[in-house]
Structure 1
Amino acid sequence: MNEHTKPRLEVCLSPALLHLFDVKNSIVVIIDVLRATSTICTALYNGAAKVIPVATVEECVSIGKQLNAITAGERDGKIADGLLHGNSPFEYPREFIGGNVLVLTTTNGTKLLHMAKDAIQIVTGSFPNISSVCEYLISQGQNVILGCAAWKDRVNMEDTLFAGAVVSRIKAHFDVNCDSALAAETLYHSAKEDLFSFMKQASHFQRLAKYGLEEDIKYCLTMDGANVLPILRNGELVVEK
């Protein structure tokens, strides 16, 4: 890229649209605000050695046994059968997760991670680590795709809001010629004064609220509570130093 052209910044609102983007020549940010990417940065912030994202519960159990790791994951918002821990960031305080490996499977986030495997680099983003994500993307000077995990391929509110928050912070450093980025940023600006109240109309809010998880949602919409950058190295998410 010559010094006069800015790198591209684009938003992919659903994994079903990822094939339309130039993944190979971009850094991909995996966004699964409720709750996978919020939990990943929280576990790493609290001292987890690494987080290994896997697609299936079977893989999760098998790798967990091999590595004597903590196995966790959800399907449709509940702890998956066969696993001991779920996808709540509050399950991973320092005294529990510090020094341990976490093997994690989720409904949407881990699937997108595997789909983006050919990217220049993969990092995970959520409101609790938004500043780390934005600083990293500016520092790299590469094309960026903000990839929303969505909900079973349907666009969702929380991942779109996070993508919009990132666009709003870093767009001066990028060429933004992407309607979904503009739409996400517009949505974020209309919600940013009170993300929690804005989210109450969203389907995933209602899904999780049924299980009494409002505190999880509140935490996952709060900026910089676990401000580290999870970066994928050899299939494992570790903290970028």
Structure 2
Amino acid sequence: MANQPTLHTILSPGLLNLYDVKDSIVVIIDVFRATSTIATALYNGAEKIIPVAAVEDCIAIGKKLQAITAGERDGKIIEGLQHGNSPAEYPASFIKGKTLVLTTTNGTKLLHMALESGAAEVITGSFPNLTAVSRHLIAMKKNVFLGCSAWKNRFNLEDTMFAGAVINRIKDHFTIRCDSSLMAEDMYNMHKHDMNSFIRKTTHWHRLASYGLEKDLEYCVTPDVANVLPQYKDGALVVGQ
């Protein structure tokens, strides 16, 4: 249908400048593990999550707000921060009612790039909140960009796979003339029944499994275990409607 909104998949932050995201919804996808952790912390009652690009900002804002600081570079907790990027670190007993200041290698960078490029709305997505993201995108009837955080601007499989999962659910509501979206959905359809074995082939698996994070990574490809909509408002990610 000609009057349907459009949907595109951006495979890496390095490609963002090729798209006009103004007045559109941008979904930030960083499956291993930033956007899985964001959904989990908010699902477990975190008041808000402040995503920052720089470690110094993370420490400074954490002190000022007496918030929990968290972040990793290359899968390791950064010196000077209290917590890492593992969803398992944020149960309700710990995070409920608290503010989390988070810096990550790829996801927070893409979020700020999308805002600077004039996106109307920024939300975050991962398999743990697949249904919440899909429903919201259908309901809003706006152009959508699925933004994969990738790895240091290089394509990665797991973010693209999540884009494919979203497309698989919502494609009837959008006009899709985008080869990266077609590829993402094909890839998801090919592997949706063997996700846990498929992710073991990814470079990110090899990078993070060496730190003993296999359980984390399996959680990050489990649909709807933290089904909330993280929405960026006034400098923080909060649970959207």
Q: TM-score, normalised by structure 1?
A: 0.98
Q: What code does the residue aligned with 1:107 have? A: T
3-state secondary structure, aligned to 1:102: strand
Q: What code does the residue aligned with 2:58 have? A: C
CA contact (8 A) 2:196 2:221 kept: yes
Instruction: Give the whole-Å Cα distance in 2 for the aligned partners of 1:135 and 1:9.
Output: 14
Aligned pairs for 1:38-49 within 5 A: 38-49=36-47
Aligned pairs for 1:48-63 within 5 A: 48-63=46-61
CA contact (8 A) 2:2 2:175 kept: no
Q: CA deviation at 1:225?
A: 0.3
Please list every run of 5 or more consecutive structure 2 residues that lacks an aligned counterpart in the other structure: none
3-state secondary structure, aligned to 1:71: strand
Look up the match of 1:37: 35
3-state secondary structure, aligned to 2:134: helix
Structure 1 segments of 4 or more deviating over 2 A? Answer: none
What is the total number of aligned residue pairs between the two structures?
239
Q: What code does the residue aligned with 1:157 have? A: L
Q: CA deviation at 1:194?
A: 1.3
CA contact (8 A) 2:46 2:96 kept: yes
1:77 aligns with 2:75: yes
Deviation track 1:60-88 (CA, whole Å, cap 9, x = no partner) reads 00000000000000100111121110000
Aligned pairs for 1:75-154 within 5 A: 75-117=73-115, 118-154=118-154
Look up the match of 1:209: 209
Look up the match of 2:62: 64
Q: CA deviation at 1:100?
A: 0.4
Q: What code does the residue aligned with 2:45 have? A: G
Look up the match of 2:155: 155
Q: TM-score, normalised by structure 2?
A: 0.98
Please list every run of 5 or more consecutive structure 1 residues that lacks an aligned counterpart in the other structure: none
Instruction: Give the whole-Å Cα distance in 1 for the aligned partners of 2:15 and 2:164.
Output: 17
- Cα root mean square deviation, aligned: 0.8
Q: CA deviation at 1:4?
A: 4.9
Q: CA deviation at 1:196?
A: 1.2
